[in-house]
Structure 1
């Protein structure tokens, strides 16, 4: 009865929420290269070619899994998991859905790597009529949700059809846990429909249990993102980016300070830190990778007033001017490879915003990682890294400058930090294989 009431309220509010979000969603879609016809797929209307591909997938594979990954980060996790699923059971086919054009580009690349085994689609909106239509067309054996994307109508509709719904690589930040606990009466009826929740950290088990899930349904498997096994270093892409830097007049021998997934205001502050560091380290080069690439023009304009020669990554070959001081990456899906070329990595959204961004990728690449005081969304990971001295947390930009200066003067200490950070993530080794095995044993 309570679940019915919760879903009724949700479905009454959902159309209003979609209307409010529509202008912003359209703006983002256009900025990120989306197409109007993609909206039809999000409403559950599939083209004849898409239906034919799905029919062929069912004919050629004994089991079809629907895997949903919101955007680039989640799709990256899904890519590793899909490769492992197909390795363990070649007769598995996967329909991977994503929300953003950048996520779709990554999913299409996966489909090209596993032809005939993977079909990328845009995720449907969670309207009760939309998800029912999608379930009828996709016909999955099970549904896999990456991280924490739990849709009430989809979960309910799948449950009624006897389709298991599993959450993989699940994480629940302290902030989300507090919010869900406050709304426990509303969220518990939906979360208890989940067949299984596979969490990243041991302490995440208790957080999910606090929302009313049965203890048998919550299990620690480790983080797929932090699992080096099955993770491939982007060697070819790194070689390509070295050539881009050389064409821009940047020698590969120069030390590189990279700021990853920065948010508004952080680019200017980190640029000021960089300019002050250059007095003692004149060869230092700066790479900025903003979290939202559509801000690139604005960022370039702001940095241009700081006596900083900035070149956008997409325009390197068009602008044959003097060598820049800073490369501004305005293309998506390239953060990992750029981090692979860095000497030091600073994690964004940790100084002027709350939550932070994920430091694990840089740590796994063997890079010294630094971040600001606000890493709330990755508290468990940060605790492990700091305990093992595999990263450095600083209070503000002045402290960041001091720590960067010290590491540049003492590269052996930077190397020790990098090695410790990589070692700190080894308890996640095998997470991809463990997750795949649990999915396939249903």
Structure 2
């Protein structure tokens, strides 16, 4: 009954969802382009594909090493990547070009999912993290297609929410061929809400297998020279509305101790680039934008806006200290492993429930600073900029945590290919 009510609700809501998508598309045209794909009208595949679904840009980036490994080990099987957001879709295309196929994921109505599946002919469905869409899973499972939940994580908050709709969630979990959980805590929560024990394994997080290539190191070094090798640079990455102002005001305080300090701020969503630029100037801070591609940066510039797509990992490499956003407000935080892989000291606000296991490991390894308020953020950034030796040790600790937890990627790829 709950599944029926869910599908009915989604059908009724669909016109309003499309209207909202059109409205967003007025500012971000990529959101409205190819809207037919969201209803399942995609280009038919000529042969069965491995369908890799990642909801947004964060999950798309996390899926990249997995897709690369699948392409390397089974080049004979086409891969289709889907995302719900324009930024996720654009990031996938930027990473893989014509190596894989792309589409927007269908909205989770029975008709849209049916049309989509009949056209793409999935040989397997790989879902990143916790995207449990009832009709997507039910329809795919009905055709005996193996479904994998990879890099699976489940916070206590989400688990309690799923428990309230157990009769809807339990059949979905039992339709999954394999749940590759990031940690014991995640696996335990999946079992608690109805997963079958034989389908759950703990593989670790493939996000620990982040790869910083020599080409990327060179690109970061070039950017750092443009920003100024002799000045202190800190980055606030994946920021959200509600914390940009806190961070910019924190930077004004940092400037009182370090007049030549530079803040690199990277909003999570591209439609907010202009808003953050306007806020920066309103607060009286001198701004430069990455999208304008200046070859040198004036020494009086105080804020560098990362308003391009797909460059966050490179921007981390041009910084001395990293704050990971979505954490000063209750968004649950974002992936801290990219700055950790660069050997940077990692700072975060208190709201980290989306990545709690990873943050706890960094904290236990003395590679994390939790800053519960913007005032605490000021103190922490200033302390690390004043004492490079302390910053270097913290960064080394963070990198050691990353290195100690590598290896999940091969386990996951092996597990998928054994079952496909």
TM over 0.5: yes
* Aligned counterpart, 2:2: 6
Asked whether the equivalents of residues 149 and 176 of structure 2 are also in contact (C-alpha less than 8 Å), the reply is yes
Q: Is 1:157 aligned to residue 142 of structure 2?
A: no
* Aligned counterpart, 1:209: 191
Asked whether the equivalents of residues 42 and 124 of structure 1 are also in contact (C-alpha less than 8 Å), the reply is yes
Q: CA deviation at 1:392?
A: 0.7
Asked whether the equivalents of residues 147 and 169 of structure 1 are also in contact (C-alpha less than 8 Å), the reply is yes
Asked whether the equivalents of residues 346 and 369 of structure 1 are also in contact (C-alpha less than 8 Å), the reply is yes
Equivalents in 1 of 2:32, 2:353: separation in Å?
36
Equivalents in 2 of 1:323, 1:282: separation in Å?
9
Q: Is 1:312 aligned to residue 308 of structure 2?
A: no
| Deviation by residue 1:365-421 (Cα, 9 ceiling, x = unmatched) | 211011122212222112111111111112212222222222111111111111111
Match of residue 270, structure 1, among 247, 264, 267? 247
After superposition, the CA RMSD in angstroms is: 2.3
Q: Is 1:143 aligned to residue 125 of structure 2?
A: yes
Equivalents in 2 of 1:418, 1:319: separation in Å?
27
| Deviation by residue 1:337-375 (Cα, 9 ceiling, x = unmatched) | 111111001121212334122212111221101112221
Q: TM-score, normalised by structure 2?
A: 0.93
Q: CA deviation at 1:67?
A: 1.1
Q: Is 1:131 aligned to residue 117 of structure 2?
A: no
* Aligned counterpart, 1:430: 407
* Aligned counterpart, 1:224: 206
Unaligned ranges ≥5, structure 2: none
| Deviation by residue 1:164-184 (Cα, 9 ceiling, x = unmatched) | 111111111121111112222
Equivalents in 2 of 1:272, 1:89: separation in Å?
50
Q: Is 1:29 aligned to residue 29 of structure 2?
A: no
Unaligned ranges ≥5, structure 1: none
Q: Is 1:103 aligned to residue 88 of structure 2?
A: yes
Equivalents in 2 of 1:340, 1:211: separation in Å?
40
Q: How many corresponding residue pairs?
A: 419
Q: CA deviation at 1:317?
A: 4.2
256 and 98 in structure 1: CA distance in 2 versus 1, 3 angstrom threshold: same
Equivalents in 2 of 1:232, 1:66: separation in Å?
26
Asked whether the equivalents of residues 174 and 377 of structure 1 are also in contact (C-alpha less than 8 Å), the reply is no
Equivalents in 1 of 2:217, 2:25: separation in Å?
28
Decide which moves more: 194-203 or 237-246: 237-246
* Aligned counterpart, 2:362: 385
Q: TM-score, normalised by structure 1?
A: 0.88
Decide which moves more: 348-357 or 7-16: 348-357
